[in-house]
Amino acid sequence: VSQSASKLPSKILELMDGFRASKALFVASKLKIFDHLKDKGPIKAVDIANGVGTSVCGTERLLDACASLGLLEKTPQGYSNNDSANTYLTSDGKYSLHGYIIHSNDHLWPLFTNLEYAVKEGSRQNHRAFGKKADDLFKDYYHSQEVKQRFMAAMHSIAHLTARDVATAFDLSQFKSACDLGGCTGALAYELVQVYPNLKVTVFDLPEVIANTSFFQPSEQHTAPVTFVSGDFFKDDLPEADLYILSRVLHDWPDEKIHVLLSKISALCKPGSALLVAETVLDEQKIHPSVAVLQSLSMTEGKQRSSSEYKQLLEKYGFTDVQIKITGSLLDAVLCFKKNLSL
């Protein structure tokens, strides 16, 4: 008996093929096909192949795959970018995801190729994917300028895309100074000074990162400057601020490291000071949103948490009035205040 189309397990069939679709996007991005098509009319496959230096038959298949996936337009005149490709897929698009796509191809893909080992052994598969053991996730990214630039571009693309939602999830106008710990390229910091012109924002990150931030500064700066300070947030003194920010930091670290970091922030916070955490918050069953659940499969020593777990964690370090805003965007926001000791 044949299955009627309506009864086909479409979800499963889609997932079976998902890796091909991801890889088509990755390779088209890596070959900068979307850059090549930017601001141009339709271009024929042969001309695109000549422009990017690839085979005509291979390029034609890749372009058709991209058109089929809705990443490109195809007409009898040739292929062109749609609005979404111009905004998100060109390497200099306003909300370019190019950096994260390249990171996905060059870093996450080899790691996920070893997912079976990761699950059997319960650990990150750096040694299998890249031939070396990493005791610290970030030391591994920053050992070469190329890998560092790639990682920072990846962080920047997601941070820039989500910065407005994080900055406006709560009204932060009561704060005079903020310190974004692990603030990387300053994408969130630049958004914060735009939304809150009176807020002085400091980005604190490892020296290797701070040395490389000028590359990511917005070209037109109409806002108050952002200050960059280098250091190790586990070992060094942290800048003073009314508002500390941890965006996509807590999910990377095991409990012992989180203990060091949150104890330190809590001790520095004066009553009324606050901590803003930006993460994708899981539902209480911890199966949604899948973007966070799938990220867990990278098997860093850290983990994704639900609302009640963030509340419990933050209260343990003397933070109260924990408010959670599910933004509907890629990152949610958790705001909490240092307990007023006189209460």
336 backbone φψ class: left, alpha, beta (φ>0; ψ -120 to 50):
beta
Per-residue binding letters, 150-179, with ligand SAM (x by CB under 6 A): -----x--xx--------------------
Burial class (CB in 10 A: 0-12, 13-18, 19+), 74: middle
Per-residue binding letters, 102-141, with ligand SAM (x by CB under 6 A): ------------------------------------x---
Q: Where are the alpha helices (DSSP H) in 53-186?
A: 56-68, 83-84, 98-103, 109-113, 115-121, 126-130, 137-141, 145-168
In terms of CB distance, is 233 or 337 closer to ligand SAM?
233
DSSP-derived pairing of the beta strands 332-338 and 274-279: antiparallel
DSSP letter assigned to residue 203: E
Residue type, 106: D
The reply on whether position 205 binds ligand SAM by CB under 6 A is yes
Per-residue binding letters, 209-238, with ligand SAM (x by CB under 6 A): x----------------------xxx----
In terms of CB distance, is 78 or 183 closer to ligand SAM?
183
Nearest distance, CB of residue 234 and ligand SAM, angstroms:
5
Region near ligand SAM per CB under 6 A, out of 5-13, 97-105, 181-189, 317-325:
181-189
Question: Is 326 within 8 Å of 282 (Cβ atoms)?
Answer: no
Nearest distance, CB of residue 275 and ligand SAM, angstroms:
14
Distance CA 109, CA 22 (A): 10
Copy the structure tokens of residue 300.
Answer: 């860093």
Which residues contact residue 18 at a Cβ distance below 8 angstroms, ignoring those fewer than 6 apart?
Answer: none
Q: Which residues are catalytic?
A: 251
Nearest distance, CB of residue 155 and ligand SAM, angstroms:
4
Restricted to residues 243-262, the positions that interact with ligand SAM (CB under 6 A) are: 247-249, 252
Question: Is 257 within 8 Å of 234 (Cβ atoms)?
Answer: yes
Considering CB under 6 A, how many residues would be counted as binding ligand SAM? 17
Distance CA 143, CA 152 (A): 13
The reply on whether position 275 binds ligand SAM by CB under 6 A is no
In terms of CB distance, is 253 or 319 closer to ligand SAM?
253
Nearest distance, CB of residue 144 and ligand SAM, angstroms:
15
Per-residue binding letters, 183-202, with ligand SAM (x by CB under 6 A): xx------------------
Restricted to residues 71-90, the positions that interact with ligand SAM (CB under 6 A) are: none
In terms of CB distance, is 37 or 166 closer to ligand SAM?
166
Cis-peptide, bond into residue 289, ω within 30° of zero: yes
- Tell me which residue has its CB nearest to ligand SAM: 182
Exposure string over 80-118, b if 16+ CB within 10 A, otherwise e: bbeeebbebbbbebeebbbbbbbbbbbbbeebbebeebb
Residues forming the site for ligand SAM (CB under 6 A): 138, 155, 158-159, 182-184, 205-206, 209, 232-234, 247-249, 252
